[in-house]
Amino acid sequence: MPVFKTPFNGYSVRFSPFYESRLAVATAQNFGILGNGRVHVIDLASSGPVINELIAFDTADGVYDVAWSESHDSVLVAAVADGSMKVYDTALPPQANPVRSLKEHAREVHGLDYNPTRRDSFLSASWDDSVKLWTLDRPASLRTFREHAYCVYSVAWNPKHADVFASASGDCTVRIWDVREPGSTMIIPGHEHEILSCDWNKYDECLIATASVDKSIKIWDVRNYRVPVSVLNGHGYAVRKIKFSPHRRNLLVSCSYDMTVCLWDFMVEDALVGRYDHHTEFAVGVDLSVLVDGLMASTGWDELVYVWQQGMDPRAA
Amino acid sequence: MSMRELVTGGAACAVPGSSSSSSNPLGALANALIGSSSKTQGVLKEIPNATAASPHPQFYSHAADPVAALPGSELDRPFLQSNAQGSDFIRGFRAADANGFADAWEEIQRQPPFDPLAAPAPPIQPTLDGPPQRVLSSFLHSFVDSSRSGVPLHPTPLPLLGLSQGDKQCIRDRSSIMARHIFADRSEEFINAQVNALLSSLEIENDIHARGPMPGRFRELEDYWNESQGVMKPGAHAADGWVTEFSQNRIHHGDPDTWAHSFEQQHGAGGWASEFEQEQAQLTSVDQMRGGNMQSLAAIQQTRMLAHTLSQNGDPKFQNSKFLQFVSKMSRGELIIDDNQVKPASENWATEYQQQYNRGASWADEFAQNEVFRGPDQWANEFGAERLQQESVDDQWVNEFSKLHVDDWAEEFGRQVGEGTLGDGSSDWANSYDEFLNEQIAAKQRSDASRGVYVFSDMNPYVGHPNPLKEGQELFRKGLLSEAVLALEAEVMKNPENAEGWRLLGITHAENDDDQQAIAAMMRAQEADPTNLEVLLALGVSHTNELEQSAALKYLYGWLRHHPKYGTLAPPELADSLYYADVARLFNEAAQMSPEDADVHIVLGVLYNLSREYDKAIASFQTALKLKPNDYSLWNKLGATQANSVQSADAILAYQQALDLKPNYVRAWANMGISYANQGMYEESIRYYVRALAMNPKADNAWQYLRISLSCVSRNDMVEACDSRNLEVLQKEFPL
């Protein structure tokens, strides 16, 4: 399956919601500790295991995450470590990009999520402990959600309720928010270590998964969050990112500092469905295609982006 | 002076000027993107500002305000307290013309900051000020890697990387946060130690409290404890020995004379001073420990305190809670890590520490209060001087000595030891201990500032040699650099005004990969002969290496001004305010004047390195090499510059040329290693470093690079040999 080499360390990879062969990759120099960043927009060739780069955008600091617009097929947002977000339009020449620069966060922006239902707004999660709500047509954020006591690493919109989202933080909690409410509506003290990622189940709007430095993934039902629905153990180090399948209710994918990408079925006893150890450094970005069932992508600090079909060996040419 | 530091520069930093690295022409891209999808075009028009500039660029239209329709958006704006929807608010806002807010709002709207065509977005300017070099990258790599191997990262003094304050802040904050993800399995102690090692290697002071961990999630107490036990090993630091020694004599504290006598009887009068000096040497080694040994004083103090706390209480639950307290205090910032020291912000901490270390405490206390600690050497020297003057007059000696309040000190000491505890003076103690530590830091800084003072080797066999200069030149020619250094030192000791001797000494040190001494020697050469062109050039190059632009410009300009041919080009008034552009222009004029002068091209090459225009620098050096093909140091400069502009493979060819001309050019061997490391060929690089070190085991930088390469290939077995500087083992393992 095709591989793409990035000059910097990979941080995040996302499938385009409009084109099945297109992806965006966020990268940062020196593991994101210091240096520049670059966003790559890449395309799978129709024949052969080849990935072409369509365009790339440079930033003055590392890029930690990227999100495609749900309303414009050429627009994407990049989360930059200097606390800013850059909006790029791949249809415009490089000198016209970025079309927006949104700078409000005081610290690194670590996570982004574009609202898939309303399609007009997106969220940013930052190490300044806050989450901010944005639309592309406003120069300033619409709202700031400030309750977490430590870095917020990830945000995820609920797939069904357009105003509901979850945020995962290093304060060991996940908070559920409704943008119509002034404060968070639910606090789930999900782990005893930092929580690095969260995602909603795409078929059951009450199920949320959390991934933590404690190496575990937990599935929660927000109607009864005293005990997790399921606990998935198997990663050897902190779990960095998780994503529910858009195609199968019980399936989710995770990547970890143990350098593997894992596939889980949280409803069965032997939950670990597959383990891919193709990365040679920390695996920090993973995504599942909405348009093609079973198409997966991952990136890591080994500066490689893999795109492969579930069940195949990512490295097989 | 060759340009080794330049080699370490910039391999990875070059961000192409165009924002896209792909060579796809834009037209093709646009065709591919737009032509392939008519849908794209349609969509494009909908994107505000994505189309050509509209006559009235606006952020959004208030008629169909999508923002207003977005629920919850009003919640963030305090003046929106009315439960009206955002759109109502904005309409109302606009209606109220008299309102100053409205004007301001309109003002904002009139500005078209988001229109890419009317006001093109500023080009992406890579704002990384310092060169983010491969060395840095490799070093960060070994930091990240150490999570897997579990091998503690040792601080490695890296060459000057030119990191800006902002860069340092980034490294500090990000590495602290990331370390807690990467090293999740490890104890907090280990994580702190790792981060501290990273920061101290990069000379980043931990003065702004880095983003610590969250409190209340420390479950691996056992690990922590075990870890901290391991950390304790370097704890037996010099002060303790001193104090112990002192306390052996404290019985006599009542009478200063007796005390002095008996002390003298025991140690001999002269012995005291030397012993003191010894202790001082050890004290400075405490200082080195801060940088040279990853544990740093902070770690030692923490763990000692822990050890004490835990030993005081039998109840494991209590132990744990105390322990938790400490850790959470640490994480809440009640204990502040300040400049790699733990500063006790809490009384408890100080008391506990004191109970265990009241002797050291009172010692430090008194020591600081009496200001005896004026810098180890001074004190000892003063003492020694007095000793000489008043030989054999013991009473006078005691009197002199008591002027330094030592008797008070002894009394105080005895009193406190007698009391067993220090009662309420704990915070005082903490303060003065801090003072004492600060003194030490200040002393270190002073020694840094006095860089540029030449340090002679002792036991020089060439002292008394009839013609050490000639001998030195001969040795240098043969490539016996370390020997040449000794001979030349003998020469400049004999004739301190011999500029040529100093210059040659500087060059020898530079080729032997010892920059500090090279700079010191060159500065002496310049003192002796302020207009020596070669010296000025060497100083310009070395300051370029150190990324000190203004100093480099000063010397390079001086070179031009004192040059018999180009002196007229340089107006003397320029010397007051040197700008890079002016100096570069003058040298270009000089190059036009006499294109056959290799030296001008060399200086131009150096200047372009200063402005990081590596392509131009390479061209200049190549021109110079056509004129001077046998100048090995010029080949080395070319290689260094090529390495800087991510042409490590070419750099190796250039270094090879230098080595063909001069096989024992230590610096070029080390540079070869760096270039291989830059290409990820760490195994190769190790062989070259070892070769360089075999020729000059004193090349500290090469040892550090070797260590980085060893950890990059996970040769932890050999890291030990590296740390103990066991060349024999390394040479056997890595023959070239």
Contact flag B173-A107 (C-beta cutoff 8 Å):
yes
DSSP letter string over A140-198? S-SEEEE--SS-EEEEEE-SS-TTEEEEEETTS-EEEEETTSSSEEEEE---SS-EEEE
Amino acid at A253: V
Q: How far is B76 from chain A (nearest CA, A)?
A: 5
| Strand order across the A22-28 sheet | A9-15, A22-28, A37-44, A51-59
The residue length of chain B stands at 736
Say what the pLDDT of residue B323 is: 32
Residue A106 touches partner B, C-beta closer than 8 Å: no
Q: B51-55, B258-262, B561-565, B714-718: which has the minimum mean pLDDT?
A: B51-55
Q: What is the mean pLDDT of residues A293-307?
A: 94
Among B19, B43, B141, whose Cβ lies nearest the Cβ of A57? Answer: B19
Say what the pLDDT of residue B635 is: 92
Residue for token pair 């850790």: B327
* Three-class DSSP category at A210: strand
The first and second tokens of residue B119, run together, are 């006001």
The packing angle between helices B269-292 and B376-389, to 10°, is 170
Produce one character per residue of A212-247: b if its CB has 16 or more CB atoms within 10 Å, e if not.
Answer: bbbbbbbbbbbeebeebbbebebbebbbbbbbbbbb
Q: How far is A159 from chain B (nearest CA, A)?
A: 17
Say what the pLDDT of residue B146 is: 66
Backbone angle region of B365, left / alpha / beta, with phi > 0 → left and psi within -120 to 50 → alpha: alpha
Contact flag A257-B76 (C-beta cutoff 8 Å):
no
Assess whether pLDDT exceeds 70 at residue A137.
Answer: yes
Assess whether pLDDT exceeds 80 at residue A99.
Answer: yes
> Which of B39, B46, B73, B129 is most worth mutating to test chain A (most A CB atoms within 10 A of its CB)?
B73
Average pLDDT, chain A: 93
Contact flag B147-A193 (C-beta cutoff 8 Å):
no
Assess whether pLDDT exceeds 70 at residue B538.
Answer: yes
Contact flag A56-B123 (C-beta cutoff 8 Å):
no
Contact flag B127-A60 (C-beta cutoff 8 Å):
yes
How many Cβ atoms are within 10 Å of B658's Cβ, its own excluded? 25
The first and second tokens of residue A27, run together, are 């990268």
Contact flag B178-A53 (C-beta cutoff 8 Å):
no
Percent of chain A with pLDDT over 70: 99
Assess whether pLDDT exceeds 60 at residue B717.
Answer: yes
Q: B224-233, B326-335, B529-538: which has the minimum mean pLDDT?
A: B326-335
Contact flag A30-B132 (C-beta cutoff 8 Å):
yes
What is the separation, in whole angstroms, between the first and last Cα of chain B? 26
Q: What is the mean pLDDT of residues B690-697?
A: 86
pLDDT digits (tens, 9 = 90+) for B63-88: 344 444 455 444 444 333 333 343 34
Assess whether pLDDT exceeds 70 at residue B28.
Answer: no
Say what the pLDDT of residue A134 is: 96
Please tell me the distance from the alpha carbon of residue A141 to that of residue A103, in angstroms, as a whole number. 9
Higher-pLDDT residue of A197 and A49 is A197
User: How buried is B286 (Cβ within 10 angstroms: 0-12 exposed, 13-18 middle, 19+ buried)?
Assistant: middle
Please tell me the distance from the alpha carbon of residue B336 to that of residue B346, in angstroms, as a whole number. 10
Q: How far is A192 from chain B (nearest CA, A)?
A: 6
* Three-class DSSP category at B105: helix
Please tell me the distance from the alpha carbon of residue B724 to that of residue B720, in angstroms, as a whole number. 6
| Strand order across the A174-178 sheet | A152-157, A164-169, A174-178, A184-188
* Angle in degrees, CA B427, B432, B434, rounded to 5: 95
The first and second tokens of residue B584, run together, are 């570069």
Contact A208, A218 (CB under 8 A): no
Among A7, A61, A213, whose Cβ lies nearest the Cβ of B184? Answer: A213
Residues of A in contact with B43 (CB under 8 A): 72-74
Please tell me the distance from the alpha carbon of residue B465 to that of residue A63, in angstroms, as a whole number. 64
Q: How far is B68 from chain A (nearest CA, A)?
A: 10
Average pLDDT, chain B: 61
Say what the pLDDT of residue B312 is: 44
Please tell me the distance from the alpha carbon of residue A53 to that of residue B706, in angstroms, as a whole number. 37
Please tell me the distance from the alpha carbon of residue A183 to that of residue A186, in angstroms, as a whole number. 9
Say what the pLDDT of residue A63 is: 96
pLDDT digits (tens, 9 = 90+) for B402-459: 454 444 554 555 555 444 444 444 444 555 555 555 555 554 444 444 456 888 887 7
How many Cβ atoms are within 10 Å of B31's Cβ, its own excluded? 11
Contact flag B72-A181 (C-beta cutoff 8 Å):
yes
How many Cβ atoms are within 10 Å of B104's Cβ, its own excluded? 10
Say what the pLDDT of residue B439 is: 55
Chain B: residue whose CA lies nearest to A81: B170
> Which of B76, B198, B202 is most worth mutating to test chain A (most A CB atoms within 10 A of its CB)?
B76
> Which of B45, B47, B165 is most worth mutating to test chain A (most A CB atoms within 10 A of its CB)?
B47
Contact flag A213-B47 (C-beta cutoff 8 Å):
no
Phi, psi (deg, nearest 5) at residue B533: -65, -45
Residues of A in contact with B59 (CB under 8 A): 137-139
Produce one character per residue of A175-211: b if its CB has 16 or more CB atoms within 10 Å, e if not.
Answer: bbbbbeeeebebebebbebbbbbbbbbbebeebbbbb
Contact flag A34-B125 (C-beta cutoff 8 Å):
no
Contact flag B34-A91 (C-beta cutoff 8 Å):
yes
Q: What is the mean pLDDT of residues B290-311?
A: 39
The partner residues of A164 in beta bridges, in order of sequence, read A178
| A residues 15-74 closer than 8 Å to B (CB) | 29-36, 38, 53-61, 72-74
Say what the pLDDT of residue B261 is: 52
DSSP letter string over B366-405? HHHHTT--S-HHHHHHHHHHHHHHTTT-HHHHHHHHHHTT
Q: Where are the alpha helices (DSSP H) in A40-156?
A: none
DSSP letter string over B303-332? HHHHHHHHHH---HHHHHHHHHHHHHHHHH
Q: How far is A250 from chain B (nearest CA, A)?
A: 27
Residues of A in contact with B32 (CB under 8 A): 54
Confidence of residue B623 (pLDDT cuts 50, 70, 90): very high
Residue A116 touches partner B, C-beta closer than 8 Å: no
Q: A227-231, B441-445, B526-530: which has the minimum mean pLDDT?
A: B441-445
DSSP letter string over B668-730? HHHHHHHHHHHTT-HHHHHHHHHHHHHH-TT-HHHHHHHHHHHHHTT-HHHHHHHHTT-HHHH
Assess whether pLDDT exceeds 50 at residue B548.
Answer: yes
Q: Is residue B91 within a helix (H) or strand (E), and if so which, with residue range? A: helix B86-95
CA dist A193 → A173, A295, B180, B681 (Å): 9, 31, 10, 38
Residue A117 touches partner B, C-beta closer than 8 Å: no
* Angle in degrees, CA B190, B191, B195, rounded to 5: 120
Sign of CA dihedral B642, B645, B648, B650: negative
Produce one character per residue of B17-27: b if its CB has 16 or more CB atoms within 10 Å, e if not.
Answer: eebbbbebeee
Please tell me the distance from the alpha carbon of residue B710 to that of residue B716, in angstroms, as a whole number. 7
User: How buried is B107 (Cβ within 10 angstroms: 0-12 exposed, 13-18 middle, 19+ buried)?
Assistant: exposed
Contact flag B116-A99 (C-beta cutoff 8 Å):
yes
Smallest Cα–Cα separation from B223: which of B150, B159, B318, B136?
B150
Say what the pLDDT of residue A73 is: 93
> Which of B77, B174, B219 is most worth mutating to test chain A (most A CB atoms within 10 A of its CB)?
B174
Residue for token pair 């510059």: B641
| Strand order across the A63-68 sheet | A63-68, A75-80, A84-89, A100-103
Question: Across the A/B interface, how many CB contacts are shorter than 8 Å?
Answer: 225
Confidence of residue A222 (pLDDT cuts 50, 70, 90): very high
Please tell me the distance from the alpha carbon of residue B90 to that of residue B80, in angstroms, as a whole number. 10
Among B20, B39, B73, whose Cβ lies nearest the Cβ of A56? Answer: B20
The top-scoring range by mean pLDDT among A172-186, B294-308, B462-476, B686-700 is A172-186
Residue for token pair 């001087």: B385
Say what the pLDDT of residue B220 is: 39
Confidence of residue A240 (pLDDT cuts 50, 70, 90): very high
The first and second tokens of residue B317, run together, are 């639950």
Contact flag A33-B170 (C-beta cutoff 8 Å):
yes
Q: How far is B400 from chain A (nearest CA, A)?
A: 56
Q: What is the mean pLDDT of residues B224-238?
A: 39
The first and second tokens of residue B92, run together, are 């109302």
Contact flag A139-B178 (C-beta cutoff 8 Å):
no
The partner residues of A188 in beta bridges, in order of sequence, read A174
pLDDT digits (tens, 9 = 90+) for A160-211: 999 999 999 999 999 999 999 999 999 999 999 999 999 999 999 999 999 9
Residues of A in contact with B112 (CB under 8 A): none
Residues of B in contact with A213 (CB under 8 A): 180-181, 184
Say what the pLDDT of residue A247 is: 95
Residues of A in contact with B108 (CB under 8 A): 139
Q: How far is A273 from chain B (nearest CA, A)?
A: 25
* Three-class DSSP category at B606: helix
Please tell me the distance from the alpha carbon of residue B55 to that of residue B357, in angstroms, as a whole number. 77
Contact flag B70-A151 (C-beta cutoff 8 Å):
no
pLDDT digits (tens, 9 = 90+) for B170-185: 888 888 888 888 777 7
Assess whether pLDDT exceeds 70 at residue B650.
Answer: yes
Chain A: residue whose CA lies nearest to B14: A36
Assess whether pLDDT exceeds 90 at residue B555.
Answer: no
Say what the pLDDT of residue B203 is: 66
The first and second tokens of residue A136, run together, are 């592309």
Confidence of residue A256 (pLDDT cuts 50, 70, 90): very high
Residues of B in contact with A61 (CB under 8 A): 127, 170
- Pairing type for strands A207-212 and A195-200 reads antiparallel
Chain A: residue whose CA lies nearest to B40: A73
The partner residues of A208 in beta bridges, in order of sequence, read A200, A220
> Which of A58, A76, A97 is most worth mutating to test chain B (most B CB atoms within 10 A of its CB)?
A58
Q: What is the mean pLDDT of residues B663-677?
A: 86
Residues of A in contact with B211 (CB under 8 A): 127, 151
> Which of A20, A25, A34 is most worth mutating to test chain B (most B CB atoms within 10 A of its CB)?
A34
Assess whether pLDDT exceeds 60 at residue A67.
Answer: yes
Say what the pLDDT of residue B123 is: 38
